């Protein structure tokens, strides 16, 4: 399954009171200037004001949460509950990112 969204992981940055959610940093070529590149992160979303920081973290954790659920689904389907340790690690990492326990 190919994602139709901006690939993760996503990060949250602050800019003038807004929490900006952006995609993974990548280098892009400068058009017309051979060999020159710049760093870019695709814009995903933003939330405004301090109270919305938790929303920004939750949005930024979405790619990891989707990946954790896909791993859990596959693990459970192939191996049953006895093989769920790896899936639970991914799930816990996504939860930690969404709740701000891990950056």
Banded model confidence at residue 82, pLDDT cuts 50, 70, 90: low
Of residues 23 and 84, which shows the higher confidence score?
A: 23
For residues 36, 21, 91, 27, the Cα torsion angle rounded to the nearest 10 degrees is: 0
Q: What digits encode the pLDDT tens for the residues 8-62? A: 888 888 877 788 888 888 888 888 787 888 888 888 877 876 567 777 888 888 8
- Lookup: tokens for 72: 């859990």
In the predicted model, what is the mean pLDDT of residues 69-87?
Answer: 75
* Structural element, H or E, at residue 92: helix 85-99
Which segments of the chain are extended strands (E)? 11-15, 18-22, 26-29, 37-40, 43-48
């Amino acid at each position: 399954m190919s994602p139709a969204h901006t690939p993760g992981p996503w990060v949250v940055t602050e800019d003038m009171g807004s929490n900006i959610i952006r995609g993974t940093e990548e280098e892009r070529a400068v058009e017309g200037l051979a060999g020159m590149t710049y760093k870019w992160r695709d814009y995903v979303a933003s939330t405004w004001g301090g109270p919305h920081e938790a929303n920004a973290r939750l949005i930024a954790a979405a790619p990891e949460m989707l990946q954790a659920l896909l791993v859990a689904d596959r693990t459970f389907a192939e191996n049953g509950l006895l093989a769920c340790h790896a899936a639970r690690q991914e799930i816990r990492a996504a939860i930690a990112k969404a709740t701000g326990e891990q950056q």
